[in-house]
Amino acid sequence: MTTEVSKPKTAAMRSYQNFINGKWVSPISGQIYERKSPITGQTIVQIPWSDQADADTAIQAARQAFDRGNWSKSHAYTRHDVLGKIAQALRVKASELAQTLCEEVGRPLEICLGEVQITAQVYDYFAGLALDVKGESITQHDSSAIGLTIHEPVGVVGIITPWNFPLLLVSWKIAPALAAGCTMVVKPSEFTPSSTFMLAEIIAQAGVPEGVINIVTGDGPVVGERLVESPLVDKIAFTGSTAIGRRIMAKAAPTLKRISLELGGKSPNIVFPDADLAAAVGGAFFGIYLNSGQVCQAGSRLLLHESIKDEFVEQLVAATKNIKLGDPMDSTTTMGPVINEKQFDRIQGYIQAGQTDGAKMLIGGSGRYSVEGLEQGLFVQPTIFDAVNGEMAIAREEIFGPVLSVISFKDEADALQIANNSMYGLTAAVWTKNLDTAMRMAKGIRVGTVWVNTYHTAGLEPCMPYGGYKQSGIGRELGHKGLEEYFETKSIQIKLGN
Ligand code: NAD
């Protein structure tokens, strides 16, 4: 199904309350947080700035809903039907949701519409999987005994999400959690909260009982950490930075909570001389510039074989010159602003570090890029550094902005060594026409997803598991593996009488 993007309206102020036990409620303190637009600098959303007591109320609601059993023990067809209704409602509201995402994330409207559409597919996919949960029977070991394994929902899930793909990434958790029969408390990022509140409304209208899904907004170290520490929460599903992921793992230890962590990356995008060069240039461009580079799987390390480096870089710089920075509501804009002042300053720091560390800046540069009429917009110039070595911060650290580091390599072994020289292990891409090269590289790189002759296709197929090696995370989302994260497995051993 395709959806028309309606003509963009001027951003209107939105205001939300927490969603707890099926009701919209103010935070106990009465405090609110005002999110300013990354495009205009004006306040566009007001949300509760909750404290631990609000989180506790939501946790209680989720706990009681789980223990009541009207969702956790519901028939699989009930969960299947509800998930299907959510997918359908997302498609009906696609235009409104896309506009909201565009205003809060600052990403071009068409890409926001794409986020809504692939999110709907995630609910369709887990609607199907809800009908296909099976355990094992072990009957051949002992003729006088039968062993069974059964799956049970893990319980109350605390869901904590970032701002870059707010609707999709929260749904990678909510959809399997609902399919498994879990209840949940969700804390979205304060920078992009609206789509999560809109989703809560859709989920409630689809027939999910009260208390199954609860949304509480507030400061990560206050509300998020309460979810992590509460003994009433059984599992944390987190997407965000590696630094916060480490903290969550430590804070979850006293209650031995189940955790799944989707964290940062510094993905190598590797081009061999036999590759289709035009396609690889397109892949490098899309790989680094999607969402102004604010993507965990961004191809931020471009590894080029030394024999093609100059020609490749020339084409990539030429393509970069054509990027149009501006209002993401305008259909001619190809890149919007970055998310907030903190992220803007962080990216500026890396552009300056690249220059002081001796990398060669081919295009771009530091400073606020001025768009006429949007002088408060947080626009960063797409920037490419050549002659980058593995010691430089721009080669090692996640920048989360439109800043590309080009590194040349001599041969396959060299490329593999450079690719694996990272604490991250989220994704990688290889561009070659040689299947042997592609497969040797795909097997040799220590990451959770390898693309061959394509980029950023992870997440487009809900049946493919997604997650990181090394310090890019723990656990997998999507696919059968993604559903398993929301189950406990119980073994039942039966001794047969004579
Ligand atoms: P972040 O780690 O700053 O915040 C993520 C979430 O955690 C937010 O909701 C935040 O409020 C909350 N939080 C902050 N401190 C907390 C604490 N002490 N306890 C509990 N929760 C806390 O990340 P961000 O800036 O929102 O997002 C960017 C990061 O997310 C990047 O590092 C990016 O690579 C990563 N990311 C990873 C994936 C993936 O699938 N691997 C996808 C998207 C983004």
Q: 287: CA distance to ligand 1 center in Å? A: 20
State the chain's mean pLDDT as an integer.
96
Domain residue ranges of the chain, discontinuous segments joined by + = 2-263+476-491, 268-461
Fold category of 268-461 in CATH: Aldehyde Dehydrogenase; Chain A, domain 2 (3.40.309)
Q: For 188-211, what is each residue's pLDDT tens digit? A: 999 999 999 999 999 999 999 999
**Residue 317 in contact with residue 280, Cβ under 8 Å?**
no
Residue-level pLDDT at 498? 77
Question: What are the E-state strand segments in 265-402?
Answer: 268-271, 301-305, 360-363, 383-386
112 classed as catalytic? no
Dihedral angle, C-alpha 137, 141, 145, 148, nearest 10 °: -20
Q: For 311-324, what is each residue's pLDDT tens digit? A: 999 999 999 999 99
Share of the chain above pLDDT 70, in %: 98
Least confident of 70-84, 90-104, 432-446, 449-463: 449-463
Q: For 26-79, what is each residue's pLDDT tens digit? A: 999 999 999 999 999 999 999 999 999 999 999 999 999 999 999 999 999 999
Query: Which of 300, 305, 299 lies closest to 271, judged by CA?
Result: 305
Whose Cα sits closest to atom 30 in ligand 1? 240
296 classed as catalytic? yes
Residue-level pLDDT at 2? 34
pLDDT at 9 over 90: no
Residue-level pLDDT at 460? 85
Query: Which of 186, 44, 38 lies closest to 105, judged by CA?
Result: 38
Q: For 384-438, what is each residue's pLDDT tens digit? A: 999 999 999 999 999 999 999 999 999 999 999 999 999 999 999 999 999 999 9
Pocket of ligand 1 (CB under 6 A): 160-164, 169, 187, 189, 220-221, 224-225, 228, 239-241, 244, 247-248, 262-265, 296, 398, 400, 426, 468, 473
**CA pair distance 342, 338, nearest whole angstrom:** 10
**CA pair distance 457, 67, nearest whole angstrom:** 39
**pLDDT confidence tier of residue 458, bands split at 50, 70 and 90:** confident
Residue with tokens 């790189």: 445
Q: 249: CA distance to ligand 1 center in Å? A: 13
Dihedral angle, C-alpha 186, 192, 195, 196, nearest 10 °: 0
**pLDDT confidence tier of residue 347, bands split at 50, 70 and 90:** very high
pLDDT at 483 over 60: yes
**pLDDT confidence tier of residue 11, bands split at 50, 70 and 90:** low
Mutate which of 35, 47, 164 to test ligand 1's pocket (most atoms within 8 Å of Cβ)?
Answer: 164
Q: Mean pLDDT, to the nearest integer, of 362-368?
A: 96
Share of the chain above pLDDT 90, in %: 96
190, 225, 229, 262: the catalytic one is: 262
3-state secondary structure of 90: helix
Q: Mean pLDDT, to the nearest integer, of 121-148?
A: 96
Alpha helices in 306-411 (DSSP H): 309-321, 341-356, 393-396
102, 112, 182, 296: the catalytic one is: 296
**pLDDT confidence tier of residue 19, bands split at 50, 70 and 90:** very high
Q: For 257-295, what is each residue's pLDDT tens digit? A: 999 999 999 999 999 999 999 999 999 999 999 999 999
Mutate which of 52, 192, 196, 239 to test ligand 1's pocket (most atoms within 8 Å of Cβ)?
Answer: 239
The class of domain 2-263+476-491 in CATH terms is alpha beta
Q: Mean pLDDT, to the nearest integer, of 443-447?
A: 98
Residue with tokens 């870089």: 313
**CA pair distance 264, 243, nearest whole angstrom:** 9
